[in-house]
Amino acid sequence: MSDTDEFLESNRRYAEQSFGGLMPLRPSRQVAVVACMDSRMPIFPMLGLKPGEAHIIRNAGGVVTDDVIRSLLLSQRLMGTREILLVHHTDCGLTKISEDQMRHELEAATGMRPWFAFEAFSDPYADVRQSIRRLRRSPFLPHRDAIRGFVYEVESGYLREVEPDDREPAT
């Protein structure tokens, strides 16, 4: 049995035994979380969230890209979220790659140079600060006053808050 077959069996059990019915479309806590896709980060339990309470946006590194801003503007403008939590983590895979080396390797393997940025970084705390700055500068987000950033310690399970750069205005 493949992993996907096991997932489908788990879904059948969930639908028959645990599914609580249709929930409202809008997140009840008015929160959007931007986090890394790392499988060691169990977002719902680590934040004490339940289904239907928050939008969860995940990508490699949890970095703020154009697509993340697109998702956040839809979350805020159409679904009523007001707060944004950024969650990076220690021992992130993006701290272990070189942007240039990855581009060269992919070009050699595929014959095409990637047109997108990998957003590699060396310090998750500094990258959270950069992500906060990107969000605060975005004219598309109506709610930029409640953005907080954190680094999740994969070694301990604790979130450590990152103080934003005070030189950057909130709005």
What is the structure's pLDDT at 167? 61
What residue has token string 């005070």?
Answer: 166
Is the pLDDT at 142 greater than 70, yes or no?
yes
pTM: 0.91
Is the pLDDT at 57 greater than 60, yes or no?
yes
- pLDDT-derived band at 170 (thresholds 50, 70, 90) equals very low
* pLDDT tens digits, 62-120: 999 999 999 999 999 999 999 999 999 999 999 999 999 999 999 999 999 999 999 99
* 33 and 81 Cβ atoms separated by less than 8 Å: no
In 37-73, the DSSP E strands lie at 54-59
Instruction: Name the residue ranges covered by the structural domains of the chain.
Output: 24-162
Q: Which has the higher per-residue pLDDT, 159 or 23?
A: 159
- The Cα diameter of the chain in Å comes to 55
SS3 83: strand
Helices (H), 40-167: 43-47, 66-79, 99-110, 124-137
Instruction: Determine the topology of domain 24-162 in CATH.
Output: Beta-carbonic Anhydrase; Chain A (3.40.1050)
End-to-end Cα spacing for the chain: 52
